Chain A
Amino acid sequence: MGSDIMGSGGRFNRRSTPGTRRAWLRWVPAVAAPAVIAAGVLAGTIPARAGDPLPAKTPAEVLALVGGHDGGHKPHSFSGTIEQSSDLGLPELPAAGPSSGPASAGGAASVFELLSGQHTARVYMDGKTKVRIQVMDRLAERDIIRRDSDLWFYSSRDNSAAHLTLPAFARDLPLVDPGLPGSPPPDQSVPDGAMPATPQELAEHLLAKVDSTTAVRVGDDVEVAGRAAYNLVLEPRTDATLVGNVAIAVDGETGMPLSVQVTARGADSPSFHAGFTSLSLEAPDDSLFTFVPPPGSTVEELQVPATGWPPGIHNPGMMITPDQLDAIHQRPDGIHQHPDGIHQDPAPSTVTGKGWETVVEIPAAAAGGTLAGSLLKDPLLSQAAVVVPGGRLLSTTLFNVLITDDGRIFAGMVPPDRLQAAASAVP
């Protein structure tokens, strides 16, 4: 029996010489499999030109589409996944996210954390008053849940929750509104006559306003989250800013901003990108907007700050949505045009320069002398800030923040020397 088997083995050996060609053939799958996989991956990365191209539109028409009055089918109910990635040249943070701190006390570190690396969030929205944002961390999650005037923050890392009752004035001010960035909230009942009547006029009015500082054009159509979108490109007309261009993808069907990317001057890839990776326009399950603090969690009751809500600053440790980002990026103009818009601030900041060259100064005394100090106390920030003549500089590819030795803070989307010049010019 054994000899039979040895015999077969021997036969195998004997036949292996003429069989070499066939043995070679048998390795074909081993070569073909990776090749097929590679081909599949390549085919997947080629952006699919889906369906018909969008009808050509002028920037004003695209803006009007964003305004949502165009046809009136702007979705206020959707669920989607947003991915945000930043490559601002800041030191990489551990992927674990903020090390500690309750849900309410995000502070500077959380903002800083959002500025580096990659983040994914799911956003659910049903109407204007029901919102849920889930920021996905590894084996953890941070949630914002809003139903009407109840606003909850939850952090799974330490099982802490914070609750806020929105005051009446903020109730109509949606936390996340895919509305027109930098323009009045679209569905506000502004009496006609006070404002341009049609969205088209509104858009042209707005374009005319920014025209002195920014060139607005519509680039090639892009595809975001499987939807064809207009690509609204804003380019600063000045060389004195770090921003090369801002590209906003506007959904061709609904006018919803789908993604924002900010590219630094001279850079090939965007320094900041936030956008939907998937989007469904169906109304999410209503139970998603119900939040009851889980057993064993610590609950903190928060007070609404009297000065209102600058988006993205008081939102503790949370995602900046493309819409909020839009708002922020439109803000330089807004501040410049309406300096009284920030008069409520107990620490009056002064603004120099205009448009993209705006430099914001927060005086030391007004900030109580504590802001700069507390910023530098943060180990992450102090590590990232380098010592320059006159203070410490937090330098990124898109903006710079200078904390002078006497505690003043200068910030702007400008090169560092402009901040230093501003610091030395203002005594």
Chain B
Amino acid sequence: MPSSVPADVPGVALRPARVPRGSGFSLMLSELRVLFARRRTWALLLALAAIPVLVAVAVRVSSSVPPGRGPAFLDRISQNGLFVAFTAMLVSVPLFLPLTVGVVAGDTIAGEANLGTLRYLLVAPAGRVRLLLVKYAGALAFCLVAPLTVGVAGAAIGAALFPVGPVTLLSGDVIQPPEAAVRILLIAAYLAVSLAGLSAIGLFLSTLTVVPVGAMAATVVVSVVSQVLDQLPQLEWLHPWLFSHYWFGFGDMLRQPVLWDTFASNALLQAGYITAFGALAYGRMVTKDVLS
């Protein structure tokens, strides 16, 4: 009977339950464990790892690529296997990375709601805000792992199929393979930052619905729309505000010395998106009726 419930009992409804410190951390760990134990997450990462393999095998079996044709760095692969990593990361930026990130970010809240587990998560002494933060942190972890997978798989398959040697940077300077590995990690970090804004959008969209596929599709569509808008010269005033604007700026990690301006602008822009859409997701999360 509703009347029998004392009014001041902290409930799941609006007030986050008071929980001991540290439970956020264990919740985080369990979220990461669930995320990376999922077969779907592994399938996504495997699909990403397949991109450099495809690129490397295609270059291996075909005749040499004339310089200046195809995506940047493609013509360098046959001389240096490490360029597989750069080419694969370049190829995966416009669609594959946003696609996988969209799947993970769109699933965060809507997936739990769809499985009917969201209310259990909220019954557990966690609180909605904390749950939101943990879910977003999980999505961010995937943002970091996804480009890293492409880069590492690219370097590995490149080293297996082609000679590995000093890498020529865009500036014409030559760096040794260990430093090239650092550059690959830098690019992965750059891409992880680039995808953080999209993750926040996906998180917000995920709070709107109980159908995870809808949130995933919407997130991917948003990323495609943003990239299309970025191509229209008529909308030049809008370009610096699009979250995909700096996605291809990772080439600046391949200059000598590294051009950090793009990294900084990108991080600032993504932080803006995280703030705006994080606040929206917060508003939606703490006001919504959790019925499933």
* B-binding residues in A (CB < 8 A): 5, 7-16, 19, 22-23, 26-30, 32-34, 36-37, 81, 92, 99-100, 122, 134, 136, 138-141, 143, 145, 152, 154, 156-161, 278, 285, 288, 291-297
Contact = CB atoms under 8 A, between A and B. Distances in A.
A22 B256 CA distance: 54
A395 B45 CA distance: 53
B2 A10 contact: yes
A26 B252 CA distance: 41
B168 A9 contact: no
B35 to A, nearest CB: 25
Given A37-B275, A154-B172, A288-B256, 5 more contacts: A5-B12, A9-B289, A30-B280, A33-B278, A156-B170
Interface of B: 2, 5, 11-14, 67-68, 72, 75-76, 79, 90, 119-120, 123, 165-166, 168-174, 233, 248, 251-252, 255-257, 259, 261, 272, 275-276, 278-280, 282-284, 286-287, 289-291
A296 B13 contact: no
Contact of B171 (A15, A37, A138, A143): A143
B248 to A, nearest CB: 6
A33 B287 CA distance: 17
A387 B279 CA distance: 57
Nearest to B273: A37
A141 B259 CA distance: 12
A101 B2 CA distance: 79
A295 B172 CA distance: 10
Smallest CB-CB A-B distances: 10 pairs: A12-B13, A33-B279, A294-B168, A30-B283, A154-B172, A139-B251, A141-B170, A29-B279, A27-B283, A139-B72
Contacts of B79: 295-296
Most buried by A among B90, B170, B272: B170
Nearest to A16: B289
Contacts, number: 130
A9 B76 contact: no
A139 B90 contact: yes
Contacts of A100: 68
B67 A29 contact: no
Contacts of B248: 138-139
Contacts of A285: 257
A141 B171 contact: yes
A139 B170 contact: yes
A5 B123 contact: yes
21 contacts: A7-B2, A7-B5, A12-B11, A14-B2, A15-B14, A23-B287, A26-B287, A30-B279, A33-B275, A37-B272, A37-B276, A92-B233, A100-B68, A136-B259, A139-B170, A139-B251, A157-B67, A161-B172, A288-B257, A294-B172, A296-B76
B173 to A, nearest CB: 8
A157 B68 contact: yes
B276 A33 contact: yes
B12 A295 contact: no
Contacts of B173: 291, 294
Contacts of A161: 172
Nearest to B11: A8
Contacts of B75: 159
Nearest to A124: B257
A136 B249 CA distance: 11
Contact of A158 (B2, B67, B256): B67
B3 to A, nearest CB: 10
Contacts of B233: 92
A12 B12 contact: yes
B235 to A, nearest CB: 13
Given A13-B289, A27-B283, A8 B171 contact: no
Contacts of A152: 172
Contacts of B14: 12, 15, 19, 22-23
Contact of B291 (A9, A134, A145): A9
A225 to B, nearest CB: 12
B261 to A, nearest CB: 7
Nearest to A101: B68
A8 B2 CA distance: 9
Nearest to B252: A136
B289 A12 contact: yes
B50 to A, nearest CB: 23
Nearest to B67: A158
Contacts of A14: 2
B261 A134 contact: no
Contacts of B76: 159, 296
A159 B283 contact: no
Contacts of A12: 11-14, 289-290
B287 A295 contact: no
A98 B248 CA distance: 18
A399 to B, nearest CB: 23
Nearest to B292: A9
Most buried by B among A34, A92, A139, A293: A139
Contact of A5 (B119, B255, B256): B119
Given A34-B276, A156-B171, A294-B168, A81 B13 contact: no
Contacts of B291: 9
Nearest to A28: B283
Given A136-B255, A139-B248, A157-B68, A295 B171 contact: no
A34 B255 CA distance: 34
A143 B120 CA distance: 60
B170 A158 contact: no
B172 A143 contact: yes
Contacts of B169: 156
B68 A294 contact: no
Contact of B2 (A11, A156, A157): A11
A32 B248 CA distance: 30
Nearest to A20: B287
A7 B165 CA distance: 66
B278 to A, nearest CB: 7
B171 A29 contact: no
Contact of B174 (A7, A34, A138, A292): A292
Nearest to B250: A139
A11 B13 contact: yes
A26 B279 CA distance: 10
B264 to A, nearest CB: 11
Given A13-B289, A15-B14, A29 B283 contact: yes
Contact of A11 (B5, B166, B272): B5
A419 B87 CA distance: 50
